[in-house]
Amino acid sequence: MPAHPRLPLVALALVTGLLGLRPAGAEAQFEFLDLGVHGTWATEAFDGTRGLGAFVSWEAPLLPVAVRAAADKYFPKCGTLDGCSTWAWGVDALVRVPLPVARPYAALGWTRRTSDPGGDVPDVKKSGAALGLGLDLDLIGIRLFAEARREFLDLPADQWILRLGFFF
């Protein structure tokens, strides 16, 4: 039986198509990864306290969604207690409005907070859901964001968190 005359062309087209479907290189996978820092204010912890935080965010290509992981260190005024501190970290899913300069977003996530009241008082650890609204501003060469989020960590630990920061 003679070989089909178009078989080499079909094989070449198949191999070329499969090579086009190969995974992108590692550098392309990091194209949608953002790092940043922010100042933060917890409205109820230690009667309101300020802190600093950092985050990493991954944006899905061609979709208006992102995943952001953040960690915050607060610097409370403890009065007579020595060594008091609060750490918080969490993960959020963001849904953005795909606009070119100002991109509002809604966030839904999970947060964990560890507070050390200082002295002989045991640490307080709380986890729970968080909801937030934010705005990313992509100005010429500078990308900023502002966010307000509500953490639901069991009453009376529920609180508002306000963040202002920038992307690298």
pLDDT, tens digit (0-9, with 9 covering 90-100), for 17-27? 544 444 444 44
Average pLDDT over every residue of 150-165: 87
Domains of the chain by start residue, with CATH: 27-167 (2.40.160.20)
Average pLDDT over every residue of 10-36: 57
Greater model confidence, 2 or 111: 111
Nearest to 52 by CA among 68, 85, 83, 74: 74
Percent of the chain with pLDDT over 90: 44
- At residue 165, does pLDDT exceed 90? yes
pTM check: above 0.85: no
Q: Classify 71 as helix, strand or coil.
A: strand
The pLDDT assigned to 147 comes to 96
- At residue 106, does pLDDT exceed 70? yes
Helix (H) / strand (E) containing 20: helix 7-20
- At residue 65, does pLDDT exceed 80? yes
* Measured distance CA(87)–CA(116) in Å, rounded: 9
Nearest to 65 by CA among 110, 24, 109: 109
- At residue 12, does pLDDT exceed 80? no
Tokens of 3: 């070989």
- At residue 144, does pLDDT exceed 90? yes
